[in-house]
Amino acid sequence: MTTTSMRALAAFAVLATAGGRSGALPPAAAPVAAALAPDCTALKRLDLTNTVIKSAMRVEANVVSANGVQMPAHCLVSGEIHPRIGVDGVRYSMGFELRLPLTWNGRFVFQGGGGVDGTIRAAVGSLRAGVPPALSQGAAVVTSDMGHTGVNTGDATFGLDPQARIDWGYNALDKVTLLAKDVIGKFYGSAPKYAYYIGSSGGGRQGLILAQRFPQHFDGIVSGAPILEQHLAQLGSMQMLKEFTAISPKNSSGAPILSQSFSDADLKLIAGGVLRKCDALDGAADGLIENYPACSYSVAELQCTGAKDATCLSPAQVAAFDRVMAGPRNSAGVLLYPATPWDSIIGEPEWRSNLIGTSVTAVSNSRKATNLSIKYVFMTPAAPTFDYLKFNMDTDPARMLASASFSAATSTNYQGFKERKGKHLIYVGMGDSLVNPAGVNRWYRELVAANGGIEATQQFARFFNVPGMGHSDGGRALDVFDPVTAIYNWVEKGQAPEQLMATGASFPGRTRAICLFPKIARYVGSGSFDDPANFRCVAP
């Protein structure tokens, strides 16, 4: 690993402040005074194509922290690429933030976004609990708003502008990467030794897009919980909203109160049933469904034989829940997206929040009911007033196909990524109730089929299913692990990850491997459930 060249930093400062030569590469070994402090503000004068540097400043050590970790001294550069006015009259640009540590370890990290982006996160290189922020280790880190500004990461109104859709779907990833590499080269006097992209959720999708569309940009990519095909996956959301509102209690106007379709007790009952059926399939009734490929269930066994009470489900609840879990179908009975895996997440607050919400009025607050991206980005043309409860499984899926062309990340063509010897680590929680993990598994199986089988595919793309984990993290799971150090070791040392060691607040004292797909963890038959030595990663 290279470490900083203060000499190069100082050379940059001298060049940039000399005037008239901004944008020139500094000589790598210019004989300048090593004691000369780098001038972060000089970065503002860089001559960059179609880019405005809005600010450039020095941030001293221990001023910024993330996950309790202090950041080293660095230059903070903020700017925007291609500012313009969209067809909807809104000002757009691809905004970015780049942090350049004064002591550089040679790594460049693109920290991915989430949701539908629209905000610029602090470029510290954070991914998840258990992972040291990349900037704290000396990496140069960039983040982006992906081409628009939103009131939050769920604000999809940018979908009214076609160019903003494309910038968000893939283009900003390319442009911001090129910009960041350009500035890094000019600042340090050399290109990054290693380039990484790390992201989860919407950021997981971005990692897939980069491997598939821009394979030259990154040596290593981490994609967590990738939302890889919303144009299809959201069909499950539409089905859920229709089925569950149909059985929901109604207000005085006859409008459904979605959150009351299932009580917390109902959901705990279902989660308990799933665990009874599936927990011990891995040899250990320990609260974790490791043998998820063998897990199938039906809530029919929970149906009331008499009046509905807290110990059973009504016939209408049973029918609706099993249909939703089995996946959306059109009127001809054709399955439009895979069935959702059964998981203990159903009894957790995250599941309620994502699917049916907590609102006691007919205006739902669930994440799926309030999703704006389907209306604004995934329907062409955008349909801001569309009523999800009127979604037609025969005709409306076609309205979402145009968006697939610029946002879906389901290609199995990794030829470019393989040729540059790129490494891609993908993971998803088996309890993810925003991204159906069955869809991610389907794509990975297709990738394996298109690339010569599992062993050949594992040379460049490795996949991990995390039992019980929700969206990116959470759930009743061992959800604290470090895929980022794993990708560094794979790229820089050739150590391909065979497993990811994990802990989690749901199971204090427990450590266990997350197994490399297609292997699952199986109990050896004796010893503590908390000791990783008592589980083996085996073929399912």
Choice among 266, 279, 432, 482 that is catalytic: 432
- Least distance in Å: CB of 502 to Ca ion? 14
Choice among 78, 93, 201, 248 that is catalytic: 201
Q: If residue 439 lies in a helix (H) or strand (E), which one and from where to where?
A: helix 437-450
Beta bridge partners of 521: 537
Contact 174, 146 (CB under 8 A): no
Q: Based on CB atoms, which residue is closest to Ca ion, 278 or 440?
A: 278
Q: Based on CB atoms, which residue is closest to Ca ion, 262 or 523?
A: 523
Residue with tokens 């990794």: 414
Whether the ω angle into residue 518 lies within 30 degrees of 0, i.e. cis, is yes
Binding mask 139-178 for Ca ion (x = CB under 5 A): ----------------------------------------
Q: Report the greatest alpha carbon distance in the chain.
A: 88
What phi-psi label fits residue 337: left (phi over 0), alpha (psi between -120 and 50 degrees) or beta?
beta
Q: Based on CB atoms, which residue is closest to Ca ion, 221 or 478?
A: 478
- Least distance in Å: CB of 207 to Ca ion? 30
DSSP 384: T
Contact 116, 155 (CB under 8 A): yes
Contacts of 19 (CB under 8 A, 6+ apart): none
Task: HSE, CB side, 13 Å, CA atoms: give it for residue 451.
Answer: 24
- Least distance in Å: CB of 523 to Ca ion? 7
- Least distance in Å: CB of 280 to Ca ion? 6
Q: Based on CB atoms, which residue is closest to Ca ion, 68 or 525?
A: 525
| Annotation says 432 is catalytic | yes
Distance CA(180)–CA(218), nearest Å, equals 12
- Least distance in Å: CB of 282 to Ca ion? 4
- Least distance in Å: CB of 190 to Ca ion? 50
Distance CA(521)–CA(539), nearest Å, equals 9
User: How crowded is residue 31: how many other Cβ atoms within 10 Å of its Cβ?
Assistant: 8
Contact 140, 108 (CB under 8 A): yes
Q: If residue 491 lies in a helix (H) or strand (E), which one and from where to where?
A: helix 483-493
Beta bridge partners of 502: 512
Q: Based on CB atoms, which residue is closest to Ca ion, 288 or 312?
A: 288
Q: Based on CB atoms, which residue is closest to Ca ion, 233 or 477?
A: 477
Binding mask 191-230 for Ca ion (x = CB under 5 A): ----------------------------------------
| Annotation says 353 is catalytic | no
Q: Based on CB atoms, which residue is closest to Ca ion, 286 or 482?
A: 286
Q: If residue 6 lies in a helix (H) or strand (E), which one and from where to where?
A: helix 6-18
Beta bridge partners of 195: 108
Torsion of CA 521, 527, 530, 536, to 10 degrees: -20
Q: Based on CB atoms, which residue is closest to Ca ion, 289 or 400?
A: 289
Q: Based on CB atoms, which residue is closest to Ca ion, 56 or 478?
A: 478
| Annotation says 217 is catalytic | no
- Least distance in Å: CB of 338 to Ca ion? 23
Contact 182, 48 (CB under 8 A): yes
Residue 220 has phi, psi (to 5 degrees) of: -140, 140
The two structure tokens encoding residue 376: 């604004």
Distance CA(169)–CA(142), nearest Å, equals 18
Distance CA(454)–CA(192), nearest Å, equals 31
Distance CA(226)–CA(204), nearest Å, equals 4
Binding mask 261-300 for Ca ion (x = CB under 5 A): ------------------x--x-x-x-x------------
Choice among 117, 471, 472, 506 that is catalytic: 471
- Least distance in Å: CB of 290 to Ca ion? 5
Label residue 306 exposed, middle or buried (CB < 10 Å: 0-12, 13-18, 19+): exposed
- Least distance in Å: CB of 478 to Ca ion? 12
- Least distance in Å: CB of 512 to Ca ion? 10
Q: How many residues bind Ca ion (CB under 5 A)?
A: 5
Contacts of 280 (CB under 8 A, 6+ apart): none
Binding mask 377-396 for Ca ion (x = CB under 5 A): --------------------
Contacts of 381 (CB under 8 A, 6+ apart): none
85-114: which residues touch Ca ion (CB under 5 A)? none
Q: Based on CB atoms, which residue is closest to Ca ion, 158 or 292?
A: 292
* Residues classed as catalytic: 201, 432, 471
- The binding site for Ca ion (CB under 5 A) comprises 279, 282, 284, 286, 288
